[in-house]
Structure 1
């Protein structure tokens, strides 16, 4: 009996250890505040980022080469932020300068590994390429023709933006780059004086007459599983629930999950994430109905332990929210087959034993009736 108990105990310990090792922790939203000045009024812009959206970018490729500069530009994820900034701008030029005010407020620090805009906003630090990716993302969100300007000799980057006419508010000689028949006005993204920082069309003296490479955004990120929520003022908290009908499902069968967003303004979509071995993958989105409810159908194709969670990006009134994590064990079809076969074998074995025991008294009686 002792030898049989050991493997059973080992299996139980293994399952418990798996739960503790791979159960993710729940985190609060990341928030940052920036100030914008349009010449008359100072605005306070609050950004909120869900941990799930941050994790999405942490898991992406961070190797930076000249051929993939554009992949760090993420206009969709900053779409709400760009829309809010555009709403207070007086012109296209003014919008660009307001965008520069945002990146000029992020503390400068040399970063060894390239960062996506969401990561830079969360960490609240970055260098020239990090700031350029944010500015380019915000401008691209509003359909501006923007490029990255790379100064290899100076190990520096800023952006160039096309305008229908030269900038009127530049305080220096207007700087630009002509590329493929289009004129791009320089916009320097570094600097810690957000109220009096660089404006579009102005060029730092150290970059004058420096060779520059124009990098177009052909490979920018087209879509993301979520967005940064933003508002002028504070964002109200929201919550999202997730209901999973069972923690065990057979491989290849459909698991239907649902939940609800608690906010008074039900707008947007919810993204479903599946986690396995400390990595998360978005597997689809669902629209919210008028009551803020959503439904997903998921068909797991491989056995193992998974975690499910959903995320809502929020809007201009509510910060986004992540649901709780729920563990689901997907049982491989082979396990079901083997278990079924073992069950049948067990039933047959029990029947044989019962039949054998039933026949034993008859054999004994026959032996007793035989004369010596």
Structure 2
């Protein structure tokens, strides 16, 4: 076991991890806020823009399964810093491609950005889980709420930047570079590794073969689809299904996002009091009921209540899944990598598949598929129960 060097105070580390989450969300929202300018700069239609953004998804999907091993070898501090640098470099290259009207260069930049997003995401979740374990109380949902705060901030800055037609190269890469520098500084407060690479080799086993890890992955997949479906289709479902104005659909989505944010802020109180499994069972039930109310509600009050209940129900599955995957520091990095891969694949693949289904049965009715997925989510919640870390066995 390695135990050298001064350990930063837990409060300092907690704040550093929260900042890492916020900066990650900030970078993402900064880029998204300029998508209309990226589309017009390259003279793309919506379909072509979607294909362009697929480069980010491909980069992330390739990097996610590999990040756990990388963290095991060089630590979460170095990997988080690497992620921030890759995001900044990727966005610089991508925006240069837009300004020079070279689509291939933008594709390369977005691919690098996707890799950076993945390694940054997994490493900060691994560190967050270790901080949570040291504090001995639930904190992960609030870290994810920090990501939302960062994304809100990035969008809030991006709106006037877009309105004032600020040059892309003076907005996206500059702010991403500033975020990368801040992340580099924040990662310096991360905790030193609990175990060495040699310790991990003593219990070497592929997490892809572990029933508990895969069950957590299934649970996270269902909750991730619940969140992703709302992000991509809720506003359209309200507009198409209830023939409301565009702003009403956007207001419904805003209500959902706000409910998720509140759920992640207050969720730890219930998780610490009642435990993971009961709260997640309640979350799955709430998401199911909320979606049903959204689809079949015959009044603004019922649909609005459904959106709130759905948002609260969808808020905890993903962050609690990250915590559960990281219960054992010996295997935390690789297990979080596996669960992240499954969860983010749902985020990436789910919305397009739902879109294809919506063409046949209707946008609003398609949401019932997500309600149905809350059943396997509830059936796999048992896997999120805390386990005794094997690091204690190695130490003994």
Which of 1 and 2 has greater Rg?
A: 1
| TM tier, smaller | under 0.3
Higher strand share: 1
Higher relative CO (CA 8 A, sep ≥ 6), structure 1 or 2? 2
* TM-score between both structures, scaled by the size of structure 1: 0.21
* TM-score between both structures, scaled by the size of structure 2: 0.20
